[in-house]
Amino acid sequence: MTPPAEQPSVRAIGALLEDEYAHAILVHTSTEPMSAGELSDACGASDSTIYRRLERLQEYDLLAEQLQLDRSGHHYTTYRARLDRIEIELEDGTFEVTIDYQPDDAVDRFTDLFEGLR
């Protein structure tokens, strides 16, 4: 997923980060990829609440989705934070939001996927 062509408004990004579950999802997934079920447990929220927040965070490309394989050959999805930094600038009466994203390292994802098969 590529970053949105148009940066979000200050209100939209502020509301998203103010949301306790979206905030917690970013915090938890900044240290390690987690599944929706793991996030539900960690955040103390229902699965439906977590999925709604995951969708909103992905709209702004703040989360990366990764497919994981377990030893039995089943797959599941995990999420990791892509947010590196948000900068809000007020210039000439207008707010400008700049979002910096962590690089999406396909090589690391492939290595993780391969190691999961062993």
Please state the pTM of the whole predicted model.
0.78
Give the domain ranges of the chain.
10-117
* CATH code of the domain made up of 10-117: 1.10.10.10
**Element (H or E) spanning 79, and its range?**
strand 75-81
Q: Which residue's structure tokens are 């979206």?
A: 22
Rounded to whole angstroms, what are the CA distances from 47 to 43, 64, 66, 118?
A: 10, 18, 18, 30
Q: Tens digit of pLDDT for each residue in 42-86? A: 999 999 999 999 999 999 999 999 988 878 878 889 999 999 999
Average pLDDT for residues 15-43, to the nearest whole number? 96
d(CA 63, CA 102): 10
